[in-house]
């Protein structure tokens, strides 16, 4: 999964890797613009997070995630539910503070943050923290932000339902005019969904992850504990 160029991790999609400098996600800010804030999150980030979790002892931190993570999707990407730390923060300043503190925690494997109101200056601060500490950082924002200035090393527009339609809005080097089509489900989850077509209909189980602030037994995540949601 680790790419040849230092400071990049494979996206898990060869067609996308081929279009990104270094052959994968940079260790720094990746900005994802969507019309639905929960759409394709694990499909897009899962392969890289799986790799990061194998090389770090700590969790993936979700800051202000607007959805309950679906266990079947997590398992399909090899992401254990107990390796997620879900920080519920409602105010823009709280979200920014939580994301920056997570980036500075030595054992954190990666950060996913939903920051619809972050300014370019605030995003630049997060980019510097992510790059300084060699962290994967995905920031999710609305498609309406496409015209705003951004310090992100890679900036994507992600749409589509049956497949992920990915446009690279910003990368090092020339822009990419074409849209990349990526599978909407990983192979393991696609096989599971296909198998369920031949079973009696059942109601999917949506598990709510425990919001406990300590994700590593015997260890604390320092300042993050101050705003992680109570149980």
Q: Within a domain: residue 114?
A: yes
Q: pLDDT averaged over the chain?
A: 81
Quick: pLDDT tens for 1-18.
Answer: 444 356 799 999 999 999
Whether 200 is covered by a domain: the verdict is no
List the CATH number of the domain containing 151: 3.40.50.300
Domain for residue 106, yes or no?
A: yes
> Residue 137 is encoded by which pair of tokens?
């950082």
Q: How far is the first Cα of the chain from the last one, in angstroms, to the nearest whole number? A: 35
In a domain, 46, yes or no: yes
pLDDT band at 150 (very low <50, low <70, confident <90, very high): very high
CA dist., res. 205 & res. 71, Å (int) = 8
pLDDT at 203: 45
Q: In percent, how much of the chain has pLDDT > 90?
A: 56
In a domain, 22, yes or no: yes
Number of domains composing the chain: 1
Q: How far apart are CA 129 and CA 207, in angstroms?
A: 32
pLDDT exceeds 90 at position 211: no
Q: Under 8 Å CB-to-CB from 144, ≥6 apart: which residues?
A: none
184 within some domain: no
- Model confidence over 27-72: pLDDT tens digits? 999 999 998 877 889 889 999 999 999 988 899 999 999 888 777 7
């Amino acid at each position: 999964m680790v790419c040849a160029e230092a400071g990049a991790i494979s996206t898990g999609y060869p067609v996308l890797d081929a279009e990104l400098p270094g052959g994968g996600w940079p260790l720094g800010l990746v900005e994802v613009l969507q019309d639905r804030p929960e759409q394709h999150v694990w499909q897009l980030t899962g392969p890289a997070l799986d790799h990061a979790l194998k090389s770090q002892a700590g969790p993936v931190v979700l800051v202000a995630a607007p959805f309950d993570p679906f266990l079947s999707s997590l398992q399909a990407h090899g992401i254990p539910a107990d390796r997620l730390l879900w920080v519920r923060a409602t105010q823009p300043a709280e979200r920014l503070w939580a994301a920056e503190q997570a980036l500075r925690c030595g054992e954190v494997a990666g950060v996913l943050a939903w920051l619809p109101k972050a300014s370019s200056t605030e995003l630049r601060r997060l980019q510097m923290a992510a790059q300084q500490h060699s962290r994967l950082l995905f920031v999710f924002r609305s498609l309406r932000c496409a015209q705003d200035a951004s310090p992100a090393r890679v900036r994507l527009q992600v749409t589509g339902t049956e497949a992920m339609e990915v446009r690279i809005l910003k990368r090092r080097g020339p822009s990419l005019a074409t849209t990349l089509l990526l599978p909407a489900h990983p192979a393991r989850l696609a096989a599971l969904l296909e198998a369920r077509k031949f079973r009696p209909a059942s109601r999917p189980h949506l598990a709510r992850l425990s919001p406990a602030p300590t994700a590593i037994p015997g260890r604390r995540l320092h300042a993050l504990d101050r705003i992680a949601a109570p149980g």
